[in-house]
């Protein structure tokens, strides 16, 4: 398959996004120092956002040459989403997640500046039973494809999607959408993530980036764990 320019030019070492899910600045800085050059792209989510040091750390990462993914999953009335997106766009953040409907996504796209907007399709912690509980009368793949089509039409950069649905997304939606895949588990999975894939499975399916958190953070040697994943990615894209 011939990839579009926006996907083909992603540096291999940036395809691993580390989920920096820690509660305070000291632990975040310690992990960043330990990981060194093995991680070039960091995801900062809600837990760290509530530490009170979100923008301080985002600025530090950007100043050190790293990339930053603000995983805030904005969901509010469209004007509020638009204004929040405009605020974040001033911080030189690379990606922002929006977890809303067409109006919210459209406002985020209109106010993004140079920042990429990623539409959340279906959280990797949800399975068919969870969708039933939420009132969605469709299976997970149908929901992901529906939201991906809307994201593309509204001008989003890409989507957050489990690797389990990426192959269908590539086949049935469009190859231009950047696909960021969380729930990557290099080893057997025993946590709350229900829809997971390995590193190679996700990229073989069509992922552009993978998000890995606990398998790196909780490893005896986080730098070695990240280096191992980077070596696997390098082999895949060599």
Instruction: State yes or no: is 73 an active-site residue.
Output: yes
H or E, element range at 214: helix 214-217
H or E, element range at 5: helix 5-8
Question: Which of these is catalytic: 62, 66, 73, 194?
Answer: 73
- Distance linking the first and last C-alpha atoms of the chain: 15
Q: Facing residues of 41 across strands? A: 17, 67
d(CA 194, CA 55): 31
Phi first, then psi: give them for residue 212, nearest 5 degrees. -130, 130
155 three-state secondary structure: coil
Taking CA 48 as the corner, what is the angle to CA 47 and CA 49, rounded to the nearest 5 degrees?
90
d(CA 197, CA 155): 28
d(CA 107, CA 80): 9
d(CA 165, CA 181): 10
- How do beta strands 16-19 and 41-44 pair? parallel
Q: Facing residues of 212 across strands? A: 18
**Catalytic residue annotation:** 73
């Amino acid at each position: 398959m011939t990839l579009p320019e926006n996907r083909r030019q992603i540096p291999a070492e940036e395809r691993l996004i580390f989920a920096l899910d820690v509660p305070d600045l000291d632990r975040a800085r310690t992990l960043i120092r330990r990981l060194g050059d093995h991680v070039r792209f960091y995801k900062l989510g809600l837990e760290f956002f509530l530490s009170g040091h979100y923008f301080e750390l985002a600025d530090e990462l950007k100043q050190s040459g790293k990339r930053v993914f603000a995983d805030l999953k904005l969901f509010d009335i469209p004007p509020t989403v638009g204004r929040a997106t405009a605020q974040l766009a001033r911080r030189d953040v690379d990606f922002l997640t929006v977890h809303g409907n067409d109006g919210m996504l459209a406002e985020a796209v209109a106010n993004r500046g140079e920042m990429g907007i990623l539409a959340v399709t279906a959280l990797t912690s949800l399975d068919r039973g969870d969708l039933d509980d939420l009132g969605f009368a469709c299976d997970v793949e149908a929901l992901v494809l529906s939201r991906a089509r809307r994201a593309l039409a509204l001008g989003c950069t890409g989507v957050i999607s489990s690797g389990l649905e990426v192959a269908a997304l590539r086949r049935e939606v469009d190859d231009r959408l950047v696909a960021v895949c969380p729930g990557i588990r290099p080893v057997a999975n025993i946590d709350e993530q229900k829809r997971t894939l390995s590193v190679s499975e996700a990229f073989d399916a069509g992922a552009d980036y993978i998000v890995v958190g606990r398998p790196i953070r909780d490893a005896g040697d986080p730098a070695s764990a990240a280096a191992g994943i980077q070596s696997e990615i390098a082999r895949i894209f060599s």
